[in-house]
Structure 1
Amino acid sequence: MKTQPAQLPQLLKKGLAPVYLVSGDEPLLVQECCDQIRKAARAADFHDRLTFHADNNLDWNSVADEFGAMSLFAEKRRIEIHLPTGKLGNGRNVLERVLQDPPEDIILLLISTRLDAAETRRKWYKDLQNKGVHIPVWPIDANKFQGWLQQRATNQGLQLTRGALSMLSERLEGNLLAASQELDRLSLLTNGGTIDEETIEQAVQDSSRFNGFELVTELLAGQASHAGKIIGVLQQEGENPLGLLSVLSRDLNLILELKASSGTGEAPAAFLKKRGVFQPQRVRAIEQANRRLNRSQLHSAIELCSTIDRAAKGFDDRSPWHHLRDLSTLLAARS
């Protein structure tokens, strides 16, 4: 079956399905749906977890072996498979076999970017809808972002003045992950008090002189030298690269969409405005990257983002900052 994120909590109360697919390009909402499923699974004694990343190096036979093996001490297990491209590739046959008779001691969680349209026509996906649950996560419309931000703040016990809400909405440009992090920070600074424009200005002044947003802009603009300096500062300050990575991945996919729209005759600025991109510096960086990079380079950059994600989660021998420097070199190239 297919359900919406808002319906997931009630669905989980009714019982667990053997397989879940959470897909979408909003990292925060995808993560929150996955966390709800993990929490429900742990409550049902599915404590042991195995994680796979479906990149070019994944041996799907090892995944099949895990489904066929008896778990140690007969413990229930969760198997999570990340699909960074929205495609299963060589894993389709494995999933088809698993979904024919899902094991009772395993819950499978597939975590994907927006699912490739071709995959929804394949047998494994139809089997998944019969045996499990698909939760597609869609971006918040630009004209609904301010309302989402207000509701998010209210849920955290924060009171935003009208001016503060407007300022935050303009500054965050629809980035949900950044919005969540900013509200968390404001909550700590204000201790639950009312947040006005002056509070936000002070919070900005107190923030680091370099931040993830500036790094993303410099990467897209091809400024490898300056990007390298920012990477060094963020690494020294112990920043988590996952936040900026979600912003960068979103913009790289946006550039691919911009290229695809070029045949329609729509001006890039008009296209970006429809997608909620208004900040002039970000508009210029995206347009520069669109002119400078070809589709192959953009796909390579998205694959490298997947490598950085894995490194940040401890699945790579090298640090995510090492791969970010490689990414800055790639994005500085010309097609």
Structure 2
Amino acid sequence: MATVNAQQLNDVLASRGLPPIICIFGDTPLLVDDAVQSIRNYAKSQGIHERQRLVQDAQFDWSQILASGASMSLFSELRLVELELPDAKPGREGGDALRSYAEQPNVDQIFVVLGPKLKQEQLKAKWYQVLTRDALVVAANAPDRAALPRFIDARARRYQLELDREALNLLADWYEGNLLALDQELQKLALMGLPQPLNLATVRQSSQDQSRFSVFALQEALLHGQVDDALHRLHRLFEEDVEIAILNWMFQREWQTVHALQQALGRGESIGQAARALPIWKNQEAAYHQVAQRLQGQHRAIIDVLKRLEFAFKRDSGEDYKTLATHFILLWCLPDRVTRLSLA
């Protein structure tokens, strides 16, 4: 089993060609799709034009896997057969079919299996162990925060777009965990015909023009303790049917960053040292330092509201999410003037 990440796939295909079985699993649909498109494009360059797409569902007929290569293609020696496992849970029948295929792969086709990132028990499953034994495995997972600016730079160059270091860090800060939106933003910037390399001010302005009351604009108001702006932007986000999952992620991420900064400062690190180890770039250091100082002693109160926001979002706790989000903003910006919220 050879494992590569999605960004390495084109080079691997160019040097090694198409193996009989390729498995693509990852937590980022954009990168899973990238890998599939890379395989399709390379296959076409090798004269493979016939493709069959299968998607597992409750009524899926697993005999298709063994029968898919029973007849020779009329138009090419090889064809692509893609099997999507939406939950990566083939079950007993599916597991048996995948193992049988892997033990005797059809010489007339390239078999591509794709799905989400696998859990530990799935990685240990017999079907996966046999399927990937001689396969090329592509890990389509999002890069971590430290590697994200490099990823964005490479992605931008696909669209003939060049950004300076601060602009790359801004986009990394805004789009960590949402690479599909990042890709859309890069395509938009490429179409605008702006002078290159794009700098921080240009990227910030173009994004603000595009979505003045985005979740990231709310994050900016929180960072600078602008309570009126933050509440106004929150109200507009709810008017626009904001994706609660993204809003919740932003609240949690900001607190994790501030709490980690408080701990680092408590160990005697300078703000510059602490910021370099966190998703904080240089021109944000002073603002995050102020937030860390302002929220000293508020750990239990912040965690309490974050938990209640999570329960309201995921478990239908009965508490109103918008009210809790409003309280979170007030607690964040004006901790000395806000008492613990009770909605009995």
Work out whether the TM-score is over 0.5: yes
The 8 Å contact of residues 87 and 115 in structure 1, kept in 2 or not, is answered as no
Residues 24 and 30 of structure 1 are in contact (CA less than 8 Å); yes or no, is this contact kept in structure 2? Answer: yes
Q: How many Å separate the matches in 2 of 1:42 and 1:68?
A: 22
Q: In the alignment, does 2:123 pair up with 1:120? A: yes
AA aligned to 2:23 is: L
Give the superposed CA RMSD. Answer: 4.2
Q: Within 5 Å, which residues of 2 pair with 1:66-85? A: 66-72=68-74, 76-85=78-87
Q: Does 1:8 align with 2:29?
A: no
Distance 1:268 1:291, change over 3 A: farther
CA separation of 1:10 and 1:205: change in aligned 2, threshold 3 A: closer
Counterpart CA distance in 2 for 1:209 and 1:58 is 45
Secondary structure in 2 matching 1:78 = strand
Q: Which has the higher mean CA deviation after the structures are superposed, 166-175 or 201-210?
A: 201-210
Aligned to 2:112: 109
Q: 1:163-190 deviations in whole A, cap 9, x for unaligned?
A: 4334323322342222222112111113
Contact 2:49 2:76 in 1 (8 A): no
Structure 1 residue 158 corresponds to structure 2 residue 179: no
* 1:144 corresponding residue in structure 2: 147
Bigger mean CA deviation after superposition, 126-135 or 62-71: 62-71
Alignment check: 8 A CA contact 2:22 2:113 kept? yes
Which residue is equivalent to 2:226? none
Once residues 102 and 228 of structure 1 are traced to their aligned partners in structure 2, the CA distance between those partners, rounded to angstroms, is: 53
1:48 matched to which residue of 2?
50
Is the CA contact 1:50–1:79 (under 8 Å) kept in the aligned structure 2? Answer: yes
In structure 1, the residue matched to 2:39 is 37
Kindly name which structure, 1 or 2, has the bigger radius of gyration based on alpha carbons: 2
Q: Note if 1:91 corresponds to 2:94.
A: yes
In structure 2, the residue matched to 1:171 is 174
Match of 1:238? none
**In structure 2, what residue type is equivalent to 1:127?**
V
1:181 to 184, 192, 201: 184
Identity of aligned residues (%): 28
What SS does the aligned partner of 1:130 have?
Answer: coil
Task: Select 2:26's aligned residue among 24, 32, 35.
Answer: 24
Q: 1:16 to 1:57 in 2, by over 3 A?
A: same
In 1, Cα distance between the equivalents of 2:2 and 2:95? 19
Alpha-carbon shift at residue 80 of structure 1 (Å): 0.8
In 2, are the aligned partners of 1:140 and 1:174 still within 8 Å (CA)? no
List aligned pairs for 1:304-315, cutoff 5 A. Answer: none
Contiguous gaps of at least 5 residues in structure 1:
215-225, 232-243, 259-266, 296-335
- Contact conserved, 1:251 with 1:286, CA < 8 A, in 2? no
Q: State TM-score, norm by structure 2.
A: 0.59
Query: Residues 287-298 of structure 1 correspond to what in structure 2 (within 5 A)?
Result: 288-294=309-315
Match of 1:47, SS state, is coil
List per-residue Cα deviations over 1:274-320 (Å, max 9, x = no partner).
8x999xxxx9899634444349xxxxxxxxxxxxxxxxxxxxxxxxx
CA drift at 1:109: 0.7
Q: Distance in 2 between matches of 1:293 and 1:229?
A: 20
Structure with the larger helix share: 1
Equivalent residue, structure 2, for 1:131 = 134
Structure 1 letter corresponding to 2:86: P
Rounded to whole Å, the distance in 1 between the matches of 2:203 and 2:197 is: 11
